[in-house]
């Protein structure tokens, strides 16, 4: 796409969304195993801060297929299905601790990867079969 005007800049990804079958089961995993702090909870959504830098949204699958009117406007419908993927960034020094922590919590490590730029990744699943990654950075992508 050739655009005559420059594209405005972006700062970062603010929110990442996953879709789950049971919010209470997902909340136990993300709070107890992943150590995330909830910042919002209702009957269709749990929101968690990730190190005060981004937000992980867990939506009840099928509960967001209609528009939602808020006090400030309208949120259009959305939903997701299947085993989705997201990655958490961690330090190289903490990766072995994460591996031990996950195994002690009964979470199976499904895979690992050593990246050519020096990063390392651990792959595992949440209770809804979403593929999660702990990525030791920098060293995955240019600049990350």
- Mark whether 59 and 90 lie in a shared domain: no
CATH assignment at residue 52: 3.30.720.120
Full residue range of the structural domain in which residue 138 is found: 82-144
Structural domain count, the chain: 2
Q: The domain spanning residue 111 has which CATH number?
A: 3.10.180.10
* pLDDT for 2 beyond 70: no
pLDDT in tens, 75-134: 999 999 989 999 999 999 999 999 999 999 999 999 999 999 999 999 999 999 999 999
Q: What is the mean pLDDT of the chain?
A: 94
pLDDT in tens, 68-84: 998 899 999 999 998 99
**Residue 19 predicted with pLDDT over 90:** yes
Q: Burial letters for 10-44: b for 16+ Cβ neighbours within 10 Å, e otherwise?
A: eeeeeeebbbbeebeebbebbeebbebeeeeeeee
Give the confidence band of 48 by pLDDT, cuts at 50, 70, 90.
very high
Helix (H), strand (E) counts: the chain: 2, 10
92 and 132 together in one domain: yes
Looking at the whole model, is its pTM more than 0.85?
A: yes
Same domain, 94 and 130: yes
Query: Tell me, what's the pLDDT at 1?
Result: 61
Whether the pLDDT of residue 142 is over 80: the answer is yes
């Amino acid at each position: 796409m050739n655009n005559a005007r420059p594209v405005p800049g972006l700062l970062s990804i603010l929110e990442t969304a996953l879709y789950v079958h049971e919010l209470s089961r997902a909340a136990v995993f993300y709070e107890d195993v992943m150590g995330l702090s909830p910042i919002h909870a209702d009957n269709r959504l749990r929101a968690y801060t990730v190190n005060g830098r981004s937000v992980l949204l867990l939506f009840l699958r099928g509960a967001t297929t209609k528009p939602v009117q808020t006090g400030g406007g309208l949120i259009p419908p959305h939903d997701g299905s299947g085993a989705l993927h997201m990655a958490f960034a961690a330090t190289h020094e903490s990766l072995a601790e994460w591996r031990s922590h996950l195994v002690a919590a009964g979470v199976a490590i499904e895979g690992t990867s050593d990246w050519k730029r020096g990063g390392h990744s651990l792959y595992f699943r949440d209770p809804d079969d979403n593929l999660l990654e702990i990525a030791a950075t920098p060293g995955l992508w240019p600049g990350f």
